């Protein structure tokens, strides 16, 4: 809290690592809200970005508690408006649209009911369907702001139902004057969405990125484009549709096309004005130079533009017809496209903007069909805008199936700082926080910013409630490692199996295991099956396996939870970097132990990764190995952190790889894990590990009440005010 306050005072960015379940969210919220109350001029808004919808809901719950407390203590209504924003899919209350399962379909149908020309048409002809909720909002909602309070997604929906206003647009509208906004990363980082949603957020805001250990990957994903052959085929279809619509329109309503043409001649000057007044968040896809220019003449008329698009798509198609892997820079790509199909850089840059304009003019209401074309246009704009920090990789086939031709063009962003840069530049304070951010110094480098505060906190606990251990060898003293050379060794696989069986016999309820990859998981499970280890395991617990299929995995998860709940006990085999390792908490009995089989290095043969490593080395002076280890260890820490979700929780963490005990790996674990990782627990055999587990589990099972924590990890008001305690706290704060 102290550190956070310092960062707020300095109006700088900060990087905080706090173990999960220690009240991270509450701390952030309560301090920032208090700060907002104390200095209403310096700090006007809190933007809290989280990852998933359940996480957003959790944040809202915390906020509600905080507000209730304020109300109780201050005895009056609080003038603070907090709300959550999510996609249309989660907020729609239209009777038929909200039944749709896929987000894209909901967006498309919503657009077809609410776009301005649809509504104009409705005014002329009652038969054209529109959304009554949007109409209601448009008619009344804009004048009446939401009353102060805390609104989560359900509250918004309910409010929308009673007023018959569309909750989604209501929330979008309210963002501009709400004090606290909670939404997903993408609304801020993905330039395509940020443009629409977040551009009006004022400069004096605090932005918090929670669970931000993967923030660089999010940044990169939001700027990268992947084009497959199927996508291009769909593009060709869309272009044909465009052509027919244009020719139809020419016959019926040529005026509109002319109007559009004129507007384009005037250029995007309006946008420039908006930017000068600092109203809009800088869109990195559309650098400011573009705005000052008019759309080039070659693509101004609709037919020319469609022909132009056709050429681009055909060109990419020919590029995909390769027999070997091609890697080139955007500059090389531009030169090639110029010589082959005579397309200049300049019109390419306007593709995205021009396409959006065309679609608006043509009054195409169903956007879902056009998403492939939009992707290609984004690609064209990005490739011509950025010459640095990106690379183009064309792979004729996948590595796993070298005989099947499946050409893919990756336009991959190598520099995670590009997407996040506008966020850092725009907002006065950006807080990046997570349970696992170690090693901290890597993040400022790869995101290219200068934090004023960078701290890792540990937990104050009344009992040692995590037990990290590094198991390096089996009972037969054969070293355990997932190293490439020993990966196939049956002795290693058997030792891993024995470790799991013995731990399963000693640990109650749920155990989660993480492997380095799906491939490795499959080979190991099949050889365990041959060795009879699976049979032994099933005597103690049921076995569930995460697969790449999301539906299958969630079914496995449901049954895993069931098995843990009714006492049968279960083992879940999953993959680091998979869905399970990222989003799902295994608190209390669901995860009494986590086993990490091997170090989760990323697949180093991937060309995208190679390109990125090279770029990092050249631009930021980060050695390849450092980055790989950093990436592996943060994923390992993330997996380990799954089992520990609060002070009353306890869990065993087993790192089963010889290499974990090396200093360069060990020191990269979060501080709150390192603190409990004693030297004596760093080089254990399976049997020693099980012995320690048993003893520790018995100690942890002893009754543990609130009184035991008082004075150590919980403080009463009197204790907090006592002088002795304050000294202690001060010491700790300085020690950190």
Partner 1 sequence: MADEDETKEYRWESGYEKTWEAIKEDDDGLLESNVADLVARAKRKRAALKATGAIQLGMMRHLFVVVDASACMFLQDLKPTRFLCVLKLLEVFVHEFFDLNPISQLGILTTKMKRSEQITVLAGNQKKHIEALQQLKDLSCEGEPSLQNSLERAMNGLKNMPAHSSREILVLFGSLTTCDPGDIQKTIKSLKDNNIRVSIIGLAAEVRICREIAKKTGGTYNVLIDDYHLKELILNQVQPPAVVGSMEASLVKMGFPGGTPIVNDGTSDSSADHAPAYCLCHIESETSSLMGPNGYNCPQCGSRYCELPVECKQCGLTLVSAPHLARSYHHLFPIKPFIERVQDRETTHCFACAKPFVEAETNVYECETCNQIVCLDCDLFIREILHTCPGCASDPVTAQMKTN
Question: Rule CB under 8 A: which residues touch partner 1?
Answer: 462-464, 505-509, 539-541, 564-569, 588-589, 592, 680, 687-688, 691-692, 694-695, 697-704, 708
Q: Is 594 exposed, middle or buried (0-12, 13-18, 19+ CB in 10 A)?
A: buried
Residue closer to partner 1 (CB basis): 287 or 464? 464
Residue closer to partner 1 (CB basis): 426 or 541? 541
Smallest gap from residue 90 Cβ to partner 1 (A):
31
Residue closer to partner 1 (CB basis): 293 or 687? 687
Residue closer to partner 1 (CB basis): 31 or 700? 700
Which of 61-77 are b and which e, b meaning 16 or more Cβ less than 10 Å from the residue's Cβ?
ebbbebbeebeeeeeee
Smallest gap from residue 465 Cβ to partner 1 (A):
11
Question: How far does CA 301 lie from the centroid of its chain?
Answer: 39
Residue closer to partner 1 (CB basis): 346 or 589? 589
Separation between Cα atoms, residue 344 and residue 661, nearest integer Å: 55
Q: List Cβ neighbours of 637 (8 Å cut-off, separation of 6 or more).
A: 435, 436, 438, 669, 670, 673
Residue closer to partner 1 (CB basis): 213 or 540? 540
Smallest gap from residue 704 Cβ to partner 1 (A):
8
Separation between Cα atoms, residue 474 and residue 495, nearest integer Å: 5
Count the residues in the chain: 736
Residue closer to partner 1 (CB basis): 527 or 709? 709
Smallest gap from residue 660 Cβ to partner 1 (A):
21
Separation between Cα atoms, residue 257 and residue 735, nearest integer Å: 68
Query: How many C-alpha atoms does 57 have within 13 Å on its Cβ side?
Result: 8
Smallest gap from residue 508 Cβ to partner 1 (A):
4
Smallest gap from residue 712 Cβ to partner 1 (A):
10
Smallest gap from residue 665 Cβ to partner 1 (A):
24
Residue closer to partner 1 (CB basis): 261 or 704? 704
Residue closer to partner 1 (CB basis): 540 or 634? 540
Kindly list the distances between the CA atom of residue 702 and the CA atoms of 379, 589, 698, 705, in Å, as whole numbers in the listed order.
Answer: 60, 15, 7, 10
- Backbone dihedral angles phi then psi of residue 608, each to the nearest 5 degrees: -60, -45
End-to-end CA distance of the chain: 12
Q: Around Cβ 462, how many Cβ atoms within 10 Å?
A: 16
Beginning with the edge strand found earlier in the chain, give each strand of the sheet holding 570-575 in spatial order: 542-545, 570-575, 510-515, 593-597, 651-656, 466-473, 684-685
**Cis peptide preceding 387, ω within 30 of 0:** no
Which of 625-645 are b and which e, b meaning 16 or more Cβ less than 10 Å from the residue's Cβ?
ebbbbbbbbbbbbbbbbbbbb
Residue closer to partner 1 (CB basis): 647 or 659? 647
Q: Is 371 exposed, middle or buried (0-12, 13-18, 19+ CB in 10 A)?
A: middle
Kindly list the distances between the CA atom of residue 429 and the CA atoms of 45, 422, 432, in Å, as whole numbers in the listed order.
Answer: 11, 13, 10
231: tokens are 């996508």
Pick from 65, 67, 76: which is nearest to 36 by CA?
67
Separation between Cα atoms, residue 298 and residue 402, nearest integer Å: 41
Pick from 157, 207, 203: which is nearest to 184 by CA?
207
Smallest gap from residue 698 Cβ to partner 1 (A):
5
Smallest gap from residue 396 Cβ to partner 1 (A):
51
280, 274 contact by CB (below 8 A): yes
Smallest gap from residue 512 Cβ to partner 1 (A):
15
Smallest gap from residue 510 Cβ to partner 1 (A):
9
678: tokens are 């004693």
Residue closer to partner 1 (CB basis): 426 or 592? 592
Smallest gap from residue 567 Cβ to partner 1 (A):
3
Q: Are strands 13-17 and 451-456 parallel, antiparallel or unpaired?
A: parallel
Smallest gap from residue 453 Cβ to partner 1 (A):
30
82, 146 contact by CB (below 8 A): no
384, 186 contact by CB (below 8 A): no
C-alpha dihedral sign at 49, 53, 58, 64: positive
Residue closer to partner 1 (CB basis): 324 or 698? 698
Residue closer to partner 1 (CB basis): 304 or 695? 695
Residue closer to partner 1 (CB basis): 138 or 708? 708
């Amino acid at each position: 809290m102290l550190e956070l306050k310092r960062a707020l005072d300095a109006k700088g960015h900060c990087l905080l690592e706090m173990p999960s379940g220690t009240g991270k969210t509450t701390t952030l919220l309560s301090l920032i809200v208090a700060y907002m109350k104390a200095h209403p001029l310096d700090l006007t808004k809190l933007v809290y970005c989280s990852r998933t919808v359940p996480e957003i809901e959790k944040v809202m719950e915390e906020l509600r508690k905080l507000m209730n407390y304020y109300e109780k203590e201050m005895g009056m209504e609080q003038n603070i408006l907090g709300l959550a924003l999510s996609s249309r899919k989660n907020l729609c209350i239209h009777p038929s649209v909200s039944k749709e399962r896929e987000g894209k379909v909901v967006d498309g149908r919503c657009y077809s009911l609410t776009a301005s020309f649809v509504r104009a048409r409705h005014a002329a002809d009652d038969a054209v369907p529109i959304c009554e909720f949007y109409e209601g909002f448009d008619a009344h909602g804009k004048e009446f702001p939401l009353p102060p309070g805390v609104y989560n997604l359900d509250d918004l929906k309910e409010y929308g139902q009673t007023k018959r206003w569309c909750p989604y647009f209501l929330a979008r509208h309210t963002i501009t004057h709400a004090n606290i906004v909670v939404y997903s990363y993408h609304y801020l980082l993905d330039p395509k969405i940020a443009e629409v949603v977040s551009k009006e957020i004022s400069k004096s805001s605090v932005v918090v990125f929670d669970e931000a250990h993967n923030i660089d990957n999010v940044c990169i994903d939001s700027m990268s484009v992947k084009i497959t052959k199927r996508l291009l085929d769909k593009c060709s279809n869309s272009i044909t549709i465009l052509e027919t619509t244009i020719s139809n329109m020419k016959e019926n309503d040529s005026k509109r096309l002319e109007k559009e043409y004129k507007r384009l001649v005037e250029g995007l000057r309006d946008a420039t004005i908006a930017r000068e007044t600092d109203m809009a968040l800088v869109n990195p896809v559309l650098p400011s130079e573009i705005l000052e220019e008019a759309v080039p003449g070659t693509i101004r008329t609709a037919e020319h533009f469609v022909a132009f698009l056709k050429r681009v798509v055909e060109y990419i198609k020919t590029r995909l017809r390769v027999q070997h892997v091609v890697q080139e820079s955007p500059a090389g790509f531009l030169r090639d496209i110029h010589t082959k199909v005579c397309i200049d850089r300049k019109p390419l840059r306007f593709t995205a903007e021009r396409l959006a304009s065309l679609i608006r003019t043509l009054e195409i209401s169903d956007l879902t069909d056009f998403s492939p074309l939009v992707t290609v246009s984004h690609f064209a704009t990005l490739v011509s805008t950025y010459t640095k920090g990106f690379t183009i990789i064309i792979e004729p086939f996948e590595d796993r199936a070298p005989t099947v031709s499946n050409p893919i063009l990756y336009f991959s962003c190598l520099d995670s700082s590009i997407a996040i840069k506008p966020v850092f530049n725009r907002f006065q304070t950006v807080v990046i926080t997570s349970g696992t951010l170690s090693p901290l110094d890597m993040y400022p480098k790869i995101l290219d910013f200068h934090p004023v505060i960078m701290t890792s906190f540990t937990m104050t606990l009344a009992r040692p409630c995590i037990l990290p251990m590094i198991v390096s060898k089996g009972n037969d003293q054969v070293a355990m490692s997932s190293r490439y050379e020993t990966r196939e060794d049956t002795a290693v696989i058997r030792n891993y199996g024995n470790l799991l069986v013995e731990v399963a016999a000693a640990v109650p309820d749920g155990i989660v295991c993480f492997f380095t990859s799906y491939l490795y998981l499959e080979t190991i499970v099949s050889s365990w099956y041959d060795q009879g280890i699976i049979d032994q395991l099933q005597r103690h617990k049921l076995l569930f396996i995460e697969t790449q299929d999301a539906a299958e995995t969630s079914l496995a998860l449901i049954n895993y939870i069931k098995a843990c709940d009714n006492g049968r006990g279960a083992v879940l085999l999953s993959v680091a970097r998979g869905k399970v390792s990222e989003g799902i908490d295994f608190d209390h009995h669901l995860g009494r132990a986590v086993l990490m089989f091997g170090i989760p290095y990323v697949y180093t043969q991937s060309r995208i990764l190679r390109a990125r490593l090279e770029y990092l080395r050249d631009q930021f002076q980060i050695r390849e190995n450092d980055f790989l280890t950093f990436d592996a260890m943060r994923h390992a820490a993330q997996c380990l952190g799954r089992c520990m979700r609060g002070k009353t929780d306890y869990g065993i963490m087993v790192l089963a790889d010889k290499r974990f005990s090396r200093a360069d790996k060990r020191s990269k674990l979060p501080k709150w894990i390192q603190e409990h990782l004693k030297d004596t627990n760093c080089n254990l055999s399976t049997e020693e590990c099980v012995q320690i587990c048993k003893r520790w589990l018995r100690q942890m099972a002893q009754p543990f009440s609130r009184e035991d924590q008082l004075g150590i990890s919980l403080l009463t008001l009197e204790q907090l005010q006592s002088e002795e305690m304050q000294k202690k706290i001060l010491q700790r704060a300085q020690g950190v």
